[in-house]
């Protein structure tokens, strides 16, 4: 299972984490594609979600490469993979908090203008800070093989770096801890504001409190606001546990179960966001179902047409001849 300061990544763990990476890749891609395809979805909150999905997409790809490779040395591809995953993972933390801040300003402070004006700051912080940290870590030779001590096959902070705990904090953990604190507080304040506003509205307009659609949408939004910080913490807590166990020098950090949960948690953010903001969003889910049904109907029609064509062919007759005969027949009918 483990050898000294080296955590063995088993094939079963690789398979499970690679599957998680694939789901996150598909989920992040779906969020990005729906934003591109349907112009009416291009609101500021959805655009911020797309930026988060770009980070999650990069994380999924870089983590998958690392899990597939299970690096053993400080090779060039190990350093590149570690740098990309460090940047993408840290950026994902910032964008997750940025979305919470935007919703807080927009809903609680009731100022869309101020909320929209924050987008430039979000870009500077969520892309700029991770880039500066990653470039500094690579330049100082801090990124490389970490023996899967706080990873699952991929590269991160080099295991032989004397100040590796400091760099683990700078390249991810400190931002993770801040997100643990910030997200629940912001979403609790948002939920509290919504509940107070809904109670006041129900008091002055009692008829609205009994409308099933309004109640349904309110309940769905309320569940999403609850799930966002909960899912983030549930997914990320395993990497935090392994980090704490590393600081304590406990061999429990090398447990296959904990390693697997860490791998799934770190690579599932894109899939979780897709489930919440695409599959659990009724209008989007309806559009996707309609699109898929149309594609399947067209495919069935083409297959049926091809099948009918083959049965209508005479010996020695090809499909092009039959098409010419069909067009001639239709022309004769038109005349």
Which helix (DSSP H) or strand (DSSP E) does residue 2 occupy?
Answer: strand 2-3
Mean pLDDT, rounded, for 291-309: 60
Tell me: pLDDT of 297 over 80.
no
Tens-digit pLDDT profile for residues 242-282 = 999 999 988 988 899 999 999 999 999 999 999 888 887 77
Mean pLDDT, all residues of the chain = 82
CB atoms within 10 A of CB 155: 31
57 in any annotated domain:
yes
Question: Which of the residue ranges 41-50, 114-123, 234-243, 299-308 would you say has the lowest mean pLDDT?
Answer: 299-308
120 in any annotated domain:
yes
206 in any annotated domain:
no
258 in any annotated domain:
yes
Measured distance CA(102)–CA(249) in Å, rounded: 40
Q: Alpha-carbon dihedral of residues 238, 243, 245, 251, nearest 10 degrees? A: 90
Q: Alpha-carbon dihedral of residues 20, 65, 175, 192, nearest 10 degrees? A: -20
333 in any annotated domain:
no
| Close Cβ partners of 255 (under 8 Å, ≥ 6 residues apart) | 1
314 in any annotated domain:
no
172 in any annotated domain:
yes
58 in any annotated domain:
yes
CB atoms within 10 A of CB 158: 21
**Confidence (pLDDT) at 63:** 95
Q: Which two tokens stand for residue 327?
A: 């067009």
Tell me: pLDDT of 202 over 80.
no
**Confidence (pLDDT) at 8:** 84
What is the span of the domain harbouring residue 253? 11-200+221-286
pLDDT confidence tier of residue 301, bands split at 50, 70 and 90: low
Q: Write the secondary structure of 273-317 as one string of H (helix), E (strand) and C (coil).
A: HHHHHHHCCHHHHHHHHHHHHHHHHHHHHHHHHHHHHHHHCCCCC
**Confidence (pLDDT) at 3:** 43
**Confidence (pLDDT) at 219:** 52
Mean pLDDT, rounded, for 92-102: 94
**Confidence (pLDDT) at 304:** 60
Tens-digit pLDDT profile for residues 223-238 = 676 778 889 999 999 9
**Pairing relation of β-strands 156-157 and 143-144?**
antiparallel
Tens-digit pLDDT profile for residues 319-335 = 444 344 444 444 444 44
Q: Give the total number of structural domains in the chain.
A: 1
Q: In this structure, what CATH number is given to the domain that contains residue 274?
A: 1.20.1070.10
Q: Which residues pair with 143 in a beta bridge?
A: 157
Tens-digit pLDDT profile for residues 68-80 = 988 888 899 999 9
Q: Which two tokens stand for residue 171?
A: 């390249």
**Confidence (pLDDT) at 331:** 41
């Amino acid at each position: 299972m483990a050898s000294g300061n080296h955590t063995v990544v088993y094939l079963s763990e690789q398979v499970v984490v690679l599957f998680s990476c694939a789901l996150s890749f598909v989920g992040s891609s779906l969020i990005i594609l729906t934003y591109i395809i349907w112009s009416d979805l291009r609101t500021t909150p959805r655009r911020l979600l797309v930026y988060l999905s770009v980070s999650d997409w990069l994380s999924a790809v870089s983590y998958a490469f690392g899990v597939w490779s299970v690096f053993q040395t400080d090779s060039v591809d190990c350093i590149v993979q570690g740098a990309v995953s460090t940047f993408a993972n840290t950026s994902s933390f910032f964008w997750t908090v940025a979305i919470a801040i935007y919703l807080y300003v927009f809903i609680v402070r009731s100022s869309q203008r101020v909320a929209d004006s924050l987008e430039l700051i979000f870009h500077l912080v969520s892309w700029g800070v991770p880039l500066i940290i990653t470039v500094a870590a690579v330049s100082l030779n801090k990124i490389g093989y970490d023996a899967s001590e706080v990873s699952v096959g991929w590269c991160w902070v080099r295991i032989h770096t004397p100040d590796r705990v400091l760099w683990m904090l700078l390249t991810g953990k400190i931002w993770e801890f801040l997100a643990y604190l910030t997200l629940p507080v912001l979403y609790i304040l948002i939920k509290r504001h919504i509940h107070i506003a809904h109670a006041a509205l129900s008091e002055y307009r009692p008829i609205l409190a009994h409308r099933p659609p309004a109640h349904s949408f309110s309940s769905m939004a309320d569940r999403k606001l609850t799930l966002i910080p909960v899912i983030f913490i549930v997914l990320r807590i395993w990497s935090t546990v392994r980090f704490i166990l590393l600081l304590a020098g406990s061999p429990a950090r090398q447990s296959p179960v904990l390693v697997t949960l860490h791998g799934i948690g770190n690579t599932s953010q894109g899939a979780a966001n897709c489930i919440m903001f695409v599959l659990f969003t009724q209008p989007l889910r309806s559009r996707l179902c309609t699109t898929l049904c149309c594609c399947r109907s067209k495919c069935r029609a083409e297959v049926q047409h091809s099948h009918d064509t083959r049965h209508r062919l005479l010996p020695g007759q090809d499909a092009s001849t039959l098409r010419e005969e069909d067009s001639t027949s239709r022309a004769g009918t038109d005349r």
